[in-house]
Amino acid sequence: MASFSRLSSPTADKISDLPDSILCHILSFLPSKQAATTSILSKRWKQVWLSIFTLHFDDKIFKDFNSFRKFVYLTMFSLRDKKVSIHSLTFRCSRFSRFNQKEFDRIIKFVMQRGIENLDFDMFHRQRVIKLPPRILNLKTLQVLKLANIKMGDFDQVDFPLIKTLHLHRIYFISPEYIVKFLLGCPMVEDLYTESLVLNKSTVPMEDVNALPNLVKARVCDRNTPMALLGKAKILHIDEFLVG
């Protein structure tokens, strides 16, 4: 009878019996704000959520910008053990975001020092465009890079030897040569998406370049993407307005 009672108990906490590694994996699929709420369950859960390798910040789920900024700073710079890696960062800001360039640079530098592999920096709805810190252009750990509403300044070299997924949406480049230079810095890219690439000045695009050798699929929603680079894509989708 005692054995039956133990098995049928509705209060049995089977999730807490899981090892920390599995709990961290489960929490990594949640926005960081929701993952943080599990810290009220016990001291163990607090340590678990602060040990996950994935951070997901979106100011739309906060009541105001100040509470969002406070949460980001506490999570990244105060509460977490600085030795814990960050493999994935999703950072989304709306039009009301008041983060300045210096703060963005600090966030990027922080995750770069912790082995970032997947970076999704979505500033699409933000009114003021920010500049991508030049130091990130030689980050050799990145495998996935997604950028939206970002300004690219002058740069000499791009070295992303591991990137396989590259999505660029409304990125401001100095000229077509800089678009080519950026894409050629991702020789292993397999999944490419470009939309609304913006040029500060117009010059003749570089056509005498080799196609990206590992490209599997490419979706182009932009007239400034150098088509010469896409010749080896197994699947190529070009939006109708570009060929009309």
Among 85-94, 104-113, 202-211, the minimum mean pLDDT is found in 202-211
Q: What predicted TM-score, i.e. pTM, was given to this entire model?
A: 0.83
Tens-place pLDDT, residues 111-144: 999 999 999 999 988 878 899 998 899 999 999 9
At 241, the pLDDT band (50, 70, 90 cuts) reads low
pLDDT confidence of residue 80: 84
At 48, the pLDDT band (50, 70, 90 cuts) reads confident
Mean pLDDT highest for which of 9-18, 39-48, 194-203?
A: 194-203
Q: Quick check: 135 and 109 in contact, CB under 8 A?
A: yes
| Strand partners of residue 135 | none
CA 208 to centroid of chain Cα atoms: 31
CA dihedral angle for residue 41, residue 45, residue 49, residue 53, rounded to 10 degrees: -150
Q: Which helix (H) or strand (E) holds 36?
A: helix 32-36
Q: Quick check: 38 and 45 in contact, CB under 8 A?
A: yes
CA 40, CA 199: separation in Å to the nearest integer?
49
Q: What angle do CA 108, 114, 115 make, to 5 degrees?
A: 95
Q: Which residues contact 49 (CB under 8 A, 6 or more apart)?
A: 27, 35, 36, 38, 39
Q: With 90 as the cut, is the pLDDT of residue 106 above it?
A: yes
Question: Considering the chain, what is the average pLDDT of its residues?
Answer: 85
More confident residue, 49 or 134: 134
At 94, the pLDDT band (50, 70, 90 cuts) reads confident
pLDDT confidence of residue 95: 80
pLDDT confidence of residue 115: 92
Tens-place pLDDT, residues 165-196: 999 999 999 998 899 999 999 999 999 999 99
CA 167, CA 155: separation in Å to the nearest integer?
19
CA 237, CA 69: separation in Å to the nearest integer?
39
Tens-place pLDDT, residues 200-218: 776 555 556 788 999 999 9
pLDDT confidence of residue 42: 64
pLDDT confidence of residue 208: 63
Give the burial class of 191: count Cβ atoms within 10 A of its Cβ; 0-12 exposed, 13-18 middle, 19 or more buried.
Answer: middle
> Which of 175, 177, 192, 185 is CA-nearest to residue 233?
192
